[in-house]
Chains A and B, each alone.
Chain A
Amino acid sequence: MDVKVKTDDLSAKETAFNDSIKDGKVIEPKDWMPEKYRKQLLRMMSQHAHSEVVGMLPEGNWITRAPSLARKAILIAKVQDEAGHGLYIYSAAETLGMDRSEMVDQLLSGKAKYSSIFNYPTLTWADIGAIGWLVDGAAIVNQTVLAKCSYGPYSRAMLRICREENFHNKQGYQILAFLMRGTKEQKEMAQDAMNRWWWPSLMMFGPSDKDSPNSADLLKWKVKLYTNDDLRQRFIDRTVEQAEAIGLKVPDDKLKWNEETRHYDFGEINWEEFFQVINGNGPCNKLRLKQRNDAHSNGQWVREAAKAYAEKRKAN
Chain B
Amino acid sequence: MNSNHQWPTWEVFTQKKQGAAHEHAGSVHAPDAEMALLNARDVYGRRQEGVNIWVVPTTAIIASTPEDVGAFFDPANDKMYRSPNFFKTADGLKTI
A interface list, Cβ under 8 A from B: 28, 30-32, 77, 80-81, 84, 87-88, 91-92, 94, 99-101, 104-105, 108-109, 153, 156-157, 163-164, 293, 296-297, 300, 303-304, 306-307, 309-311, 313-314
CA distance A88 to B39 in the complex (A): 12
A-B contact pairs, 29 of them (CB 8 A): A31-B66, A32-B66, A32-B67, A77-B46, A84-B46, A88-B26, A91-B9, A91-B26, A91-B28, A94-B9, A94-B27, A99-B6, A100-B29, A104-B4, A105-B1, A108-B1, A109-B1, A163-B47, A164-B46, A296-B2, A300-B2, A303-B4, A303-B5, A303-B7, A306-B7, A309-B32, A310-B35, A311-B31, A313-B32
Verify if B42 is at the interface (C-beta below 8 Å from A): yes
Q: Are B6 and A100 in contact (CB under 8 A)?
A: yes
Closest approach, in angstroms, between the C-beta of B45 and any C-beta of chain A? 10
* Cβ of A162 to closest chain B Cβ, rounded Å: 13
- Is the beta-carbon distance between A87 and B65 smaller than 8 angstroms? no
Interface centre among A81, A84, A153 (most CB of B within 10 A): A84
| Distance A303 CA – B43 CA, assembled complex (angstroms) | 17
Contact A164 B47 (CB under 8 A): yes
Do most interface residues of chain A lie in helix, strand or loop, or is the interface mixed? helix
List residues of B (49-96) whose CB comes within 8 Å of A's CBs: 63, 65-67
Count, chain B residues at interface, CB 8 A? 22
6 interchain residue pairs of minimum CB distance:
A310-B31, A310-B32, A101-B4, A101-B6, A91-B27, A91-B26
Q: How far is the CA of A202 from the CA of B65 in the complex (A)?
A: 43
Q: Are B5 and A304 in contact (CB under 8 A)?
A: yes
Q: Closest CB-CB distance, B39 to chain A, in whole Å?
A: 8
Tell me the smallest distance from the CB of A150 to a CB of chain B, in Å.
15
Report the bound CA distance from A92 to B32 in whole Å: 21
Quick check: B35 and A306 within 8 Å, CB to CB? yes
Whether A297 and B26, one on each chain, are in contact in the complex, defined by CB atoms closer than 8 angstroms, is no
Residues of A within 8 A of B2 (CB): 296-297, 300
Picked from B5, B9, B28, B42, the residue with its CB within 8 Å of the CB of A307 is B5
CB closest chain-A residue, reference B4: A101
CB neighbours of A28 from chain B (8 A): 66
Residues of B with C-beta under 8 A to A310? 31-32, 35
A281 to chain B, nearest CB (A): 23
**Which of B28, B31, B46, B63 gathers most chain A CB within 10 Å?**
B31
Closest chain-B Cβ to A48's Cβ sits at a distance in Å of 15
| Cβ contacts under 8 Å, A300 to chain B | 2
Closest to B33 in A: A310
**Inter-chain contacts of A313 with B (CB < 8 A):** 32
Q: Are A80 and B65 in contact (CB under 8 A)?
A: no
Q: Which residues of B contact A88 (CB under 8 A)?
A: 26, 43
Contact A81 B66 (CB under 8 A): no
| CB-defined contacts of B63 to chain A, threshold 8 Å | 30
Question: Which chain A residues lie closer than 8 Å to B4 at the CB level?
Answer: 101, 104-105, 303
CA–CA, A91 and B50, complex, Å: 19
Residues in A with CB closer than 8 Å to B6 are: 99-101
Smallest CB-CB separation from B58: which chain A residue? A94
Shortest CB distance B7–A (Å): 7
| CB of A31 to closest CB in B, whole Å | 5
A91 to B: closest C-beta gap in Å: 5
